[in-house]
Structure 1
Amino acid sequence: MATVTAVRPTEGTSGNQYTDLQGRERCIYLATPKSSKAVWLTSLGPKLVWGNQETILPISKAAMQSEASPRIGQLSVPKKNFRSVNDGVKRIHVYSCGRNSVIWEVSPLAMKGNASHRVSELSRFKIPPAAFKEDRINGALSCGRESPIWEVSEAAKRAKSRLRLESLAKEKMPHRDYQPPREIESIVSDNAKKAIASARLESLSRAKSRPEGPFRDSKWPVSDLARNATATPRQLELAKPKGLVDGYQHERPVQRDISRASRRTIATTRTVDLARPIMRATMDHVQFNPDAFIVSDGAKRARCPPRIEELAQPVTRS
């Protein structure tokens, strides 16, 4: 299978090299990483690539031969794995998708343990007040929730409806001017079937006739009168091209000779300063700042003014 490589356009070239790409070539061009624009004149230090094991600065021999302190050794100890070796792999993959189960086995010590007074108090269910009267039995059907269907009392069955209830029970009537929708297939009457079209309808129903082209050839003969015709003064005036404005100067040529005075000129000190390139550090060094969290001595000796102390006070709300 042939591979297609897309090259990013270099500086000074037009962008048509990548706008003309389509399909798979366009995807390959967009997937290629962006090339670094750093040059030797503006870059400082070696080129760094984040994510590797190379250090930014070389490590000295003294640092390589030094011994770690007890604190560093304590911090370098890995975290202890409290999961047993025999049950570790089984518990993770025995249920689903590599996730351990929410329900785990209870140890024998926990089974023999006695609950404290506080745990027993928290595990006691909520007791309803003394004046509470339960009208319906909860939990008789499902999950402790009441059923929306309940038994109707005999008194409610024998009750007579009032006029207001009967009026509310009536369905909503449509508007008096409401007309039902017509059927999709309308029935054609017998008179419409036996009708005869008039001459006007037949003329309107006749398709428009168009002559077949081409109507005129691209080349046609010119008559002798047109060849011998003379243009009028008005036509000659209109045929004149638009002139240039007084004082118009033509554009200079792209390549022109440099005068001797320009060759002998010496640049001023200000021009030399402006022509000197700006030395900027690369983004690899700018992003890594080892002194980012160091507080300066001036900030340590600074005193807070009364206004900042007033603004730092928390808002008191009643």
Structure 2
Amino acid sequence: MHTRCRPNAKSDTRKPVRDLSTPKKVWGLPDRRLIWGNQVPIRPLTLCALSAKQTKRIDQLAEPKKVNKCYVPNRPEYHNSWGRGSIIWKLPSKAFFSYPSARIEKLSEPKRYKEEYLQKRPFSSPTWHVKDASQIPEASSRVVQLAVAKATHPEYEGPKQVETKIPPTALTTHPTTRVVTLSEPKIKIETLYFERRNNELPIRPVSNAAMSAQPSSRTQLLARAKTVNEQYLPVRPVKQPIRRSTLKYVPTTRIEELSVPNARTPLTTNGINLDAFKVKEAAKVAICSPRIVKLAEPVKR
């Protein structure tokens, strides 16, 4: 029974794969111009949702919120300030007929400089103070020449207007057939994608004249592949085959002696001459000369 049910199990597993492999049906293509309120929803609505009747609560929530008359944007300040409220306060009519108090008049007076601050400033005017010696009643011709403002170049042209004004005659004229043909975009046939043809043919289309042309001797010479140098040796294989004669070869006694590694005696206290590092008694008591002391000092860098 298990073997008979096996092919049916395969068909059951392949069924969702076939359903997923089929392309999705396109729905909701707009046949009209999309504006605010007639867009197709992202998710498709069911028939039950389309035929359902809304309740009174949903109708009540769907109504737009009423705006108070005080906040209706019909004020001139709202239009002049691009949708924002005016910063200038609107004064009441009583403010024009009232008199300020003594405290307000005192606060409205400008701040005065202190006497110490004015004494430190020799010139109260922002202009530079000119000394009496430099005040000349009549200026020289050179000073008058330098005082003349620099004039603009006669060939100077001012900046052009950003907005080009089109005359009414150009707006009412009808273009000719030549102008219409020139205004159309150029269609380029030569692109990166070509039509499918025989697999043996090249990717790019080759003209019939180029296919039937006979190449010259120079073209045939250049079409030859570059050869390898005569002294070139190919790469040796990683695994080199060994002949049967070498496997059956018996080495001589000399080869066996050379194949033995060099035997080194272990480094122990028996092989070291300890007397070689022994310092004599006379060397311990000896006093070195000042020249040796000078040479023994490290080099200062």
Higher alpha-carbon Rg: 2
- TM-score range for the pair, normalised by the shorter chain length: under 0.3
Structure showing greater relative contact order (alpha-carbon pairs closer than 8 Å, 6 or more residues apart): 1
TM-score normalised according to structure 2 size: 0.26
Q: Which structure has more helix as a fraction of its residues?
A: 2
- Using the size of structure 1 for normalisation, the TM-score is 0.25
